[in-house]
Structure 1
Amino acid sequence: MRFDTGEMIGTATTVVKDMKRWPEAVLPAMVIGIMGLGLFAFLSIADEMGEGEVRAWDEWLFLAFRNPADPDDPLGPPWLEEAALEVTALGGYTLIILTLAAVLGLLLVTRRYGPALYAFLSVGSGALVSSLSKQFYDRPRPDLVPQLDIVHTASFPSGHALVTTVAYLTLAALVIRFFDDLRVRLYVAGVAVFVSLIVGISRVYLGVHWPSDVAAGWALGAAWASLAWLVVAALQFLRRRRTARSEE
C-alpha cells in the first residue's frame, strides 16, 4: 500500500478547517434549542400560574428568603438588603437604557450600524414584550410581606428578569463577535447569565415578585434574545449568499 503524503496533508488540513468551523454550524442549532426550551418553559409556567397550581410552590420558596420567626424580615444582615436593592437596579430600565445608549453610541461612532440596530431592536422589542405580557396576565404582586422596592406594574412575568436577560445576552452576543477564543466567549456569556440570575433572585428577596414570575421572565427573555440573534444570523447568511452570487 502506497501513501500519498500530499493527499494526507490535504485531508488533515481539511479536517482542521472543518473543526474550526463547527461552531458556525452547531451554534444556530443550539440557539434554536434555547429558544424552543425557553418558550416552552414560559408557556408551561404561565399555564400552571393561570390554574393556580404554582401557588403553594411560590409561597414556600418566597418565604424561604424570610426569617421564619418574622416573615417581614428578609434573611441576612441589613447590608444584604441594601446590596439586593443595588443588584436589582442592574435590571432597572434606567440603567439598562443608559448602558444601551452608551453601547449604541460606541457602535455608531465606529460605524457599526448593523450591530447598533440589532442591539436597539432586540432590547427595545424585549421591553415591549415584557409590558404586553404583564398587561395580558395582570397578576397581582405578592402580598405576604411588605415590599422593599417600589413597583407600579403587574407581577407576571418579572420585567427585571425578562429585560435583563434580553439586554445582557444581546450585549454579550455583540462582545463575543470580537473574540475567537472559546474561553473568552464562554466567560462573556457566563457573566451575562450570572447578572440575569442575581437580578431575578433579588426580586424575590425584596418581596416584589413570586419565584414563578422570575422563572417565566428568565425563560421568555432567553427565548426572545435567541430569536433576535437568529433573525440577525439569517439576514447575514442571506446577505453573504447574495454577495457570493453577485461575484460569480
Structure 2
Amino acid sequence: MNNLPPADPGSQGRIAGMLQWLGSHELPVLLAFCTILASLWGFAELAEEVIEGDTHEFDQALLLSMRNPADLSDPIGPGWVEEIGRDITALGGNAVLTLLTLAVVGYLLLDGKRRMALVLVVATLGALGVSTLLKNTIDRERPDLVPHHTQVYTASFPSGHSMLSASTYLTMGALLARVQRRKRMKAYILLVAIIATLLVGLSRIYLGVHWPTDVLAGWTAGAAWAIGCWLLARWLQRRHEVEDEDSA
C-alpha cells in the first residue's frame, strides 16, 4: 500500500518551469562563461609574454607594417586616411565614451529602465577602474619606433582605448540587446558595437601609440568584462531586479 503523500502540483510546476528555463538558457550561459575564461587566460598569457619581452619582434613587425618604409613618421595611405584614424581613435577616448554612456543612460531612463541604467553606469566605471589598475601595475612603455600622431599620457599595456571601447560598446550593446524584442535589432546593435571596438583598437596601432599586443590585451580584457556584465544583467532580470524587454 502506498503511503506516500500526493505530489504537490505547485511544486511540480515550479520544477518543470526550472527545467525548461535551464534547457533554453544553459548553452548561452555556458558559452559566456567559457568565453570569459578564455579571454582571461589569453590576457594572462599576453601579459606574461609582454613582461618577459617575448612579443617585441611581433609588435615591431606589425607596427612598422603600417608605416611608410621611407619615412616612419608617415602612416601608410593618403592623408585623409590618417585623419580618419584620428577620428576613429577618439571614439575610444574618455570624453566620447562618457558622453555616449550618458546618452544611453538617458535613453534607458526615458524608457523606464532605471535599474538597467544603473547597471550600465556601474559597468562603465568599473571598467575604467580595472583598466587604470592594470596599466599602473604592468607599466609598459609606449612604442618609440615611430612618432605618435596623438597625445598619450598613460602606460601602454593594456590599451585603455581598446579595453574601454570593448567594455563600454560591448556592454552597451549587450544591455540594449537585452531590452529589445526583435532579433534583427539585437543582432544589429551587437554588430555595431563589435565593429566600433575593432576599429578603435586598430586605429591605436595605426597612429603608433600602442603596440599590437596592447590592443589584443585590451580587447580580451574588455570582452571578458562586457560578457560578465551581460551575465549579471541576465541574472538580475531572472530575479526581476532589472527590467526586461517587456517592461516599460
Q: 1:19 Cα deviation (Å)?
A: 10
Mapped to 2, the partners of 1:135 and 1:84 lie a distance apart of 26
Read off the aligned partner of 1:225 and give its amino acid letter.
A
Instruction: Indicate the residue corresponding to 1:203 in structure 2.
Output: 204
Q: 1:239 Cα deviation (Å)?
A: 4.6
Change in 2 beyond 3 A, CA 1:190/1:110: closer
Matched, 1:107 2:135: no
Question: TM (normalized to structure 1)?
Answer: 0.84
Superposed CA RMSD: 2.0
Mapped to 2, the partners of 1:206 and 1:45 lie a distance apart of 22
Instruction: Indicate the residue corresponding to 1:4 in structure 2.
Output: none
Q: 1:236 Cα deviation (Å)?
A: 3.1
Matches within 5 A, 1:60-209: 60-209=61-210
Q: Render the CA deviation track for 1:164-219: whole Å, top value 9, x for unaligned.
A: 00111111112212434434322221211111001000000000000000000000
Mapped to 1, the partners of 2:183 and 2:232 lie a distance apart of 23
Mapped to 2, the partners of 1:161 and 1:22 lie a distance apart of 35
Residue correspondences, number: 223
Taking only the aligned residue pairs, the percentage that are identical comes to 41
Matches within 5 A, 1:18-57: 24-57=25-58
The range that moved more, 98-107 or 160-169, is: 98-107
Q: Render the CA deviation track for 1:110-139: whole Å, top value 9, x for unaligned.
A: 331111011101111001111110000000
Mapped to 2, the partners of 1:62 and 1:216 lie a distance apart of 16
Q: 1:21 Cα deviation (Å)?
A: 9.0
Question: TM (normalized to structure 2)?
Answer: 0.84
Q: 1:28 Cα deviation (Å)?
A: 1.3
Mapped to 2, the partners of 1:238 and 1:180 lie a distance apart of 19
Q: 1:229 Cα deviation (Å)?
A: 1.8
Q: 1:37 Cα deviation (Å)?
A: 1.2
Q: Render the CA deviation track for 1:215-240: whole Å, top value 9, x for unaligned.
A: 00000000111112222323333458
The range that moved more, 167-176 or 21-30, is: 21-30
Change in 2 beyond 3 A, CA 1:31/1:111: same
Q: 1:20 Cα deviation (Å)?
A: 11
Instruction: Judge conservation of contact 2:175–2:230 (CA < 8 Å) in 1.
Output: no
